[in-house]
């Protein structure tokens, strides 16, 4: 198990750091929760906003147990709202589940293309002959065909994308090597014949499937980006997928989209199935704010401003106000308060609230807010931010830079919320990729080391690779 922390520093730069890489003694949720708690305690981390995990049922149990354990620490707001929004389900994993349901139907139509690619890649001699065919039809495509992994839909997309570029070369190969290719397709005696060679209709299906899969591939790449925030645009991407699945008119693609839509509704079909910080992140984008959230809800409800849309919008707004109260209280304790507004009024309110019950304090706050609104006075960051004009949506807009320039001085408390919320990763793939690169294998000598020593070595190597990668990106 790898545990990575994501945070935005004082200069509004997004960082990720691998905290731990450890062996899991058991895949039960309770065991995972204990490992998470041990790592947090070891690093002195007392508060967390979310944990991004894949869709294993053990993770559901683990995060509920972690929330309970952290509640016993006695640290105020160690986990907010009793862990209701602690779990962020990995968007890339859900996308993978959705597309794989469609891929089970799609594989019937692309078998001939897959077999043609498999034939080319089955021996060096066949690959060399295919290269000759590429030269004869005068194709100038870089790279060569790649064979997909049936369980990974993104590799199927890449296989189709590459194979379609070499369609003429495949046709030439079938013409000049028909005897050997057909013999390979027929297989040995007693074997079931393979599909192929690919006909024009197979290439047409391949092109349709490639175009259909492209948005899923691009969104997966987008949500797996770890160099800039993605949480604020994730729900918009989810809606794009929803629209793509709903609007299929092609009979063949409709047959594929139908099971995919069922899986989509299972994970993203209602407001309560989504982590509500996805909506808070939209609000914290000054190009969208609360208006965009309302637009999204209206689209999901066919444009009718019904009770459901209003209730969901109110839930998002209330969550933002609740976050504001938590951060305001923490800021007051640490000496960080509102920069804009009347400090005298704030002190007066604070002193007059002494001795009041919690219910009386809340009633007093509501009354003060109502009076301020009537008088045209805005006393908190949230109201001030939501009341200010929406920013233009230019191509060079930098969300973190906007908060660095505008947030700290104008909305100090809301800026602290933005620093935490916008750092939320919506995918675990960035962590997984650290361990899937070829060549990073522990040799027999190192595999005989003790577990802790292996963990130290791997974490140090990953940190080194991360630094090298960051330097290359800067260059």
Same domain, 414 and 435: no
pLDDT band at 66 (very low <50, low <70, confident <90, very high): very high
Could you say which of 222, 238, 264 is where a domain stops? 222
Same domain, 216 and 101: yes
Q: What span, in angstroms and rounded, lies between the C-alpha atoms of 53 and 55?
A: 7
Q: Do 394 and 422 touch, CB atoms closer than 8 A?
A: no
The yes-or-no verdict on residue 342 having pLDDT over 90 is no
Least confident of 213-227, 296-310, 433-447: 433-447
Q: Is 453 exposed, middle or buried (0-12, 13-18, 19+ CB in 10 A)?
A: exposed
Q: Do 49 and 82 touch, CB atoms closer than 8 A?
A: no
Same domain, 217 and 105: yes
Give the rounded percent of residues in the chain with a pLDDT score beyond 90. 51
Specify the pLDDT at position 392: 85
The yes-or-no verdict on residue 377 having pLDDT over 60 is no
Q: Is residue 245 part of a domain?
A: no
Same domain, 181 and 209: yes
Helix (H, G, I), strand (E, B) or coil at 50: coil
341 is written with which tokens?
């507004």
Specify the pLDDT at position 460: 66
Specify the pLDDT at position 331: 76
Specify the pLDDT at position 305: 43
Specify the pLDDT at position 366: 67
Mean pLDDT of 38-61: 92
Q: What span, in angstroms and rounded, lies between the C-alpha atoms of 365 and 349?
A: 9
Specify the pLDDT at position 461: 60
Parallel, antiparallel, or unpaired: how do β-strands 87-89 and 51-53 relate? parallel
Q: Is residue 354 part of a domain?
A: no
pLDDT tens digit sequence for 239-255: 999 889 988 888 888 88
Give the rounded percent of residues in the chain with a pLDDT score beyond 70. 80
428 is written with which tokens?
């675990």
Q: What span, in angstroms and rounded, lies between the C-alpha atoms of 275 and 11?
A: 27
Residues contacting residue 148 through CB under 8 Å, at least 6 positions apart: 114, 117, 155, 156, 158, 159
Same domain, 433 and 414: no
Specify the pLDDT at position 24: 80
- Per the listing, tokens 């390979």 go with 184
H or E element in which residue 19 lies: strand 14-21
Q: Do 63 and 53 touch, CB atoms closer than 8 A?
A: yes
Least confident of 69-73, 205-209, 312-316, 466-470: 466-470
For CA atoms 382, 384, 387, 392, give the dihedral sign. Answer: negative
The yes-or-no verdict on residue 175 having pLDDT over 90 is yes
Specify the pLDDT at position 356: 65
pLDDT band at 13 (very low <50, low <70, confident <90, very high): very high
Same domain, 48 and 66: yes
Mean pLDDT of 454-466: 60
Segments in 375-439 forming alpha helices (H)? 381-387, 399-402, 408-410, 412-421, 429-433
111 is written with which tokens?
């078998």
Helix (H, G, I), strand (E, B) or coil at 221: helix
Specify the pLDDT at position 456: 62
Please indicate whether residue 144 or residue 300 has the higher confidence score (pLDDT).
144
pLDDT tens digit sequence for 83-99: 999 999 999 999 989 99
Same domain, 105 and 194: yes
Q: Is residue 283 part of a domain?
A: yes
The yes-or-no verdict on residue 469 having pLDDT over 60 is no
H or E element in which residue 298 lies: helix 289-300
Q: Is residue 472 part of a domain?
A: no
Same domain, 168 and 40: no
Specify the pLDDT at position 133: 94
Same domain, 59 and 102: no
Q: What span, in angstroms and rounded, lies between the C-alpha atoms of 468 and 462?
A: 10
157 is written with which tokens?
């997309």
Specify the pLDDT at position 447: 45
Q: Do 114 and 85 touch, CB atoms closer than 8 A?
A: no
Specify the pLDDT at position 451: 56
Task: For the full predicted model, state whether its pTM sits above 0.85.
Answer: no
The yes-or-no verdict on residue 279 having pLDDT over 50 is yes
Specify the pLDDT at position 432: 46
Mean pLDDT of 357-373: 67
Least confident of 6-10, 62-66, 204-208, 358-362: 358-362
Mean pLDDT of 221-233: 89
Q: Is residue 339 part of a domain?
A: no
Q: Is residue 393 part of a domain?
A: no
Find the helix packing angle between 111-121 and 167-176, rounded to 10°. 70
Report which DSSP code applies to 20.
E
Q: Is residue 59 part of a domain?
A: yes
Specify the pLDDT at position 466: 54
Q: How many domains does the chain have?
A: 3
Nearest to 22, CA basis, from 9, 6, 7, 34: 34
The yes-or-no verdict on residue 445 having pLDDT over 90 is no
Q: What's the helix, strand, coil split of the chain in %, to 5?
A: 65, 5, 30
- Per the listing, tokens 């630094």 go with 467
Least confident of 16-30, 114-128, 212-226, 387-401: 16-30
Specify the pLDDT at position 103: 83
Nearest to 425, CA basis, from 244, 234, 246, 169: 234
Same domain, 325 and 443: no
What is the DSSP code string of 111-141?
HHHHHHHHHHHT-HHHHHHHHHHHHHTT---
Q: Is residue 336 part of a domain?
A: no
Same domain, 137 and 204: yes
Q: What span, in angstroms and rounded, lies between the C-alpha atoms of 44 and 447?
A: 30
pLDDT band at 308 (very low <50, low <70, confident <90, very high): confident
Exposure of 222 in the CB half-sphere (CA atoms within 13 A): 16
Q: What span, in angstroms and rounded, lies between the C-alpha atoms of 280 and 272?
A: 14
What mean pLDDT value characterizes the chain? Answer: 82
The yes-or-no verdict on residue 475 having pLDDT over 60 is no
Q: Report in angstroms the alpha-carbon separations of 228 from 6, 222, 276, 332, 424.
A: 11, 10, 20, 30, 10
Please give the angle made by the CA atoms of 141, 143 and 149, to the nearest 5 degrees: 125
Q: Do 203 and 395 touch, CB atoms closer than 8 A?
A: no
Residue 197: asked if its preceding bond is cis (omega within 30°), the reply is yes
pLDDT band at 413 (very low <50, low <70, confident <90, very high): very high
Same domain, 75 and 147: no
Nearest to 332, CA basis, from 349, 316, 355, 356: 349
Please indicate whether residue 450 or residue 225 has the higher confidence score (pLDDT).
225
Domain that holds residue 315: 276-329+378-385+399-425
The yes-or-no verdict on residue 311 having pLDDT over 50 is yes
């Amino acid at each position: 198990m790898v545990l990575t922390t994501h945070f935005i520093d004082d200069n509004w730069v997004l960082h990720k750091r691998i905290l731990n890489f450890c062996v899991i003694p058991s895949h039960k949720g309770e065991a995972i929760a204990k490992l998470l708690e041990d790592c947090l305690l070891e690093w002195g981390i007392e508060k967390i906003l979310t944990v991004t995990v894949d869709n294993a049922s053990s993770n559901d149990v683990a995060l509920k147990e972690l929330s309970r354990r952290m509640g016993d620490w006695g640290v105020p707001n160690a986990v907010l709202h009793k862990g209701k929004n602690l779990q962020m389900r990995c968007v890339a994993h859900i996308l993978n589940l959705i597309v794989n349901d469609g891929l089970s139907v799609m594989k019937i139509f692309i078998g001939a293309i897959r077999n043609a690619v498999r034939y080319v890649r089955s021996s060096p001699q066949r690959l060399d002959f295919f290269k000759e065919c590429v030269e004869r039809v005068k194709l100038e495509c870089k790279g060569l065909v790649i064979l997909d992994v049936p369980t990974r839909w993104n590799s199927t997309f890449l296989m189709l994308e590459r194979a379609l570029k070499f369609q003429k070369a495949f046709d030439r190969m079938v013409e000049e090597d028909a005897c050997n290719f057909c013999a390979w397709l027929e297989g040995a005696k007693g074997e079931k014949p393979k599909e192929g060679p690919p006909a024009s209709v197979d290439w047409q299906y391949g092109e349709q499937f490639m175009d259909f899969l492209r948005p899923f591939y691009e969104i997966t790449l987008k949500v797996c980006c770890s160099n800039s925030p993605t949480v604020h645009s994730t729900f918009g991407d989810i809606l794009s997928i929803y629209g793509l699945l709903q609007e299929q008119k092609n009979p063949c693609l409709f047959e594929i989209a139908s099971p995919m839509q069922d899986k989509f509704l299972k994970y993203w079909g209602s407001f309560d199935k989504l982590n509500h910080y996805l909506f808070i992140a939209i609000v914290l984008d000054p190009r969208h704010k609360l208006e965009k959230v309302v637009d999204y809800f209206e689209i999901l409800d066919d444009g009718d401003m019904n009770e459901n849309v209003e209730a969901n919008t109110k839930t998002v707004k209330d969550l933002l106000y609740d976050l504001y109260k938590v951060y305001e209280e923490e800021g007051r304790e640490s000496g960080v308060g509102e920069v804009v507004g009347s400090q005298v009024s704030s002190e007066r309110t604070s002193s007059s609230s002494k001795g009041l019950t919690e219910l009386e304090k809340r009633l007093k706050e509501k009354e003060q807010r109502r009076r301020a609104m009537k008088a045209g006075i805005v006393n908190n960051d949230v109201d001030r931010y939501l009341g200010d004009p929406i920013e233009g949506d230019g191509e060079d807009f930098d969300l973190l830079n906007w908060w660095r320039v505008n947030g700290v001085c104008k909305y100090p408390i809301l800026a602290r919320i933005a620093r935490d919320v916008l750092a939320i990763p919506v995918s675990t793939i960035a962590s997984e990729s650290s361990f899937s690169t070829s060549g990073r294998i522990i040799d027999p000598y190192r595999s005989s080391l003790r577990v802790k020593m292996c963990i130290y070595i791997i974490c140090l190597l990953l940190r080194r690779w991360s630094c090298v990668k960051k330097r290359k990106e800067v260059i």
